[in-house]
Amino acid sequence: MSSTDDLIAGLAAEGVTPASHALRRFVMPLVAVSVISAGFWLAMLGKPFTAVEVYGPVPMMVKWGFSLPLVFGSAWALHALGRPGQDAHRRMLCLAIPFALAAVVLAIDLAIGGGRFPGATWDRCLIAMGTFGPICFAGAIIATRWLAPTELRKAGAVAGIFGGSVAMSAYAPFCPELGMLFMTTFYILPILAMAAIGWLLGPKLLRW
Amino acid sequence: MNQGDPLDLLMQRTRNGDDAAYREFLEQAATRLRSALARKIGNDGELEDLVQEALIAVHQKRHTLDPGRPVAPWLHAIARYKLIDHWRKRGRSPVLHEDADVAVAEDEFASLDVEALLKELPEAQAEAIRLTQIEGLTGAEASERVGIGLSAMKLRVHRGMLRLKKVVAEKDG
């Protein structure tokens, strides 16, 4: 009997039933970091959505309208990237839509004068993105490692987008700042930075 | 799913709790992995190590194969990944296989009923794709089985894959 036959015998003896909770194992770390991020800001800053009472719902809708599709879209893309042989390109392309729309809205906003910049709380926003972006990125890496990604740079970049967009979604309800220039500088650029970090670290962090 | 592929049938039996089918599945997977990997690294001492590494990956990551999805593209993607990882560890940077267009196509067709799509191709091209991409034979083995030259076999696979892409695009469109 060859060593490969021995190996097959050993693997077959381990049982045939794959884990039935495969999807839950993938989703759990993503949900955990999202809850931790939102819970932290709720505990630190108290009542959310105070800016909505002053400026109306539109600024909040723009922020979440950008970040939440990225949260769910990047998780959806990661799920495909983690399954060998599955085409994830279309899902990844979908992630470009919020960025393209944000670019259009930024152009319109700048054309009509834009909001105040950089605003009074820009440093808090940057801390939120700089702290929780990497934490949520780590959650996405743990989730993806449970799967079997074969395109590690792409998976790393998408994990970075997930990390950044969750950090933004969690902090946005407490952010009083307005204007697309603010959103681009303190939210979108950090998300892209996280994607770049993920692209660079993906091959190291996701190798299996 | 390609109902004609023995691996798909074995995986289905495996999921229904047939222990013996899983062992048979791993044996057939090992044969296909060996055949696919031998095309890339030759039949040297490293081949069996790589086959074993890929088999362990197949076993450990079997939860990433969704029920209903064909096994072959999933298996080949794992083999490709382990091969690239193997080259990376060895510090080599080979030009990836000559049939890179085929690799891309495998991903594109991963979620489709390949056997139904193959029926839309001329039989010679469908047979060439079946032998090289589903059964995992080398170009030389496939050409020998059909009784044509290696170049003719490669041409059939290439034309078949192009035609297959067109069929898929037409269905999507």
* Ordered mean pLDDT values, 10 residues apiece, chain B (173 residues): 78 86 94 90 80 93 90 95 86 47 49 76 85 79 79 76 80 68
- A113, part of any domain: yes
B104 and B84 belong to one structural domain = no
Domain hosting A135: range is: 22-205
Q: In the predicted model, is pLDDT for residue A54 greater than 90?
A: no
pLDDT bucket at A25, cuts 50 / 70 / 90: very high
**Which one of A4-18, A44-58, A96-110, A113-127 scores highest in mean pLDDT?**
A96-110
pLDDT at B104: 44
From the CA of A8, how many Å to the nearest CA of chain B?
A: 6
Final residue before a domain boundary, out of B37, B55, B90: B90
Give me the number of domains chain A comprises.
Answer: 1
Contacts made by residues B109-113, CB under 8 angstroms, sequence distance 24+: B109/B73, B109/B164, B109/B168, B110/A85, B110/A86, B110/A87, B110/B69, B110/B70, B110/B73, B110/B74, B110/B77, B111/A86, B111/A87, B111/B69, B112/B168, B113/B1, B113/B2
- B95, part of any domain: no
pLDDT at A2: 73
B107 and B65 belong to one structural domain = no
Query: What CATH number is associated with residue B111?
Result: 1.10.10.10
- A78, part of any domain: yes
Determine the residue of chain A that is closest to B18 in CA distance: A16
Q: Do B77 and A150 touch (CB under 8 A)?
A: yes
- A154, part of any domain: yes
B19 and B66 belong to one structural domain = yes
Which of chain A's residues have a Cβ under 8 Å away from the Cβ of B14? 16
CA end-to-end distance (rounded Å), chain A: 28
The pLDDT of A134-161, averaged and rounded, is: 97
Q: Do B59 and A14 touch (CB under 8 A)?
A: yes
B68 and B143 belong to one structural domain = no
B84 and B18 belong to one structural domain = yes
Q: In the predicted model, is pLDDT for residue A52 greater than 50?
A: yes
Give me the number of domains chain B comprises.
Answer: 2
Segment A151-190, tens digit of pLDDT: 999 999 999 999 999 999 999 999 998 889 999 999 999 9
pLDDT bucket at A16, cuts 50 / 70 / 90: low
Determine the residue of chain B that is closest to A26 in CA distance: B64
B38 and B110 belong to one structural domain = no
The interface pTM score, or ipTM, of the predicted complex is 0.84
pLDDT bucket at A40, cuts 50 / 70 / 90: very high
pLDDT at B94: 47
A17 touches chain B (CB under 8 A): yes
For the ranges A34-48, A136-150, A170-184, B123-137, the lowest mean pLDDT is seen at B123-137
B21 and B46 belong to one structural domain = yes
Q: Do A7 and B27 touch (CB under 8 A)?
A: no
User: Which residues of A, range 146-165, sit inside 8 Å of B by Cβ?
Assistant: 147-148, 150
A23 touches chain B (CB under 8 A): no
**Which one of A37-41, A47-51, B159-163 scores highest in mean pLDDT?**
A37-41
Q: Do A8 and B27 touch (CB under 8 A)?
A: yes
**How far is A200 from A197, CA to CA, in rounded Å?**
5
Could you give the percent of chain A with pLDDT greater than 70? 96
- B52, part of any domain: yes
pLDDT bucket at A19, cuts 50 / 70 / 90: low
**How far is B65 from B74, CA to CA, in rounded Å?**
7
- A14, part of any domain: no
Q: Are B5 and B70 in contact (CB under 8 A)?
A: yes
Final residue before a domain boundary, out of B70, B90, B110: B90
**How far is B94 from B39, CA to CA, in rounded Å?**
13
- A5, part of any domain: no
Segment A67-103, tens digit of pLDDT: 999 999 999 999 999 999 998 999 999 999 999 999 9
B85 and B109 belong to one structural domain = no
From the CA of A132, how many Å to the nearest CA of chain B?
A: 29
Q: Do B61 and A147 touch (CB under 8 A)?
A: yes
Cβ burial of A113 (10 Å; 0-12, 13-18, 19+) is exposed
- B1, part of any domain: no
Q: Do A148 and B18 touch (CB under 8 A)?
A: no
pLDDT, chain A, mean = 92
Domain hosting B56: range is: 6-90
pLDDT at A1: 56
Which of chain A's residues have a Cβ under 8 Å away from the Cβ of B56? 7, 11
Determine the residue of chain B that is closest to A207 in CA distance: B85
- A197, part of any domain: yes
Determine the residue of chain A that is closest to B74 in CA distance: A85
Name the residue facing B59 among A3, A4, A11 (closest C-beta). A11
B80 and B114 belong to one structural domain = no
Determine the residue of chain B that is closest to A15 in CA distance: B19
Q: Do B17 and A17 touch (CB under 8 A)?
A: yes
Q: Do A83 and B64 touch (CB under 8 A)?
A: yes
Q: In the predicted model, is pLDDT for residue A65 greater than 60?
A: yes
Query: What CATH number is associated with residue B55?
Result: 1.10.1740.10
Final residue before a domain boundary, out of B63, B90, B117: B90
- A28, part of any domain: yes
pLDDT at A175: 92
pLDDT bucket at A3, cuts 50 / 70 / 90: confident
Q: Do A12 and B66 touch (CB under 8 A)?
A: no
B107 and B56 belong to one structural domain = no
pLDDT at B93: 45
B74 and B49 belong to one structural domain = yes
- A114, part of any domain: yes
- B35, part of any domain: yes
- B139, part of any domain: yes
pLDDT at B4: 77
Q: Do B77 and A84 touch (CB under 8 A)?
A: yes
B13 and B80 belong to one structural domain = yes
Q: Are A128 and A41 in contact (CB under 8 A)?
A: yes
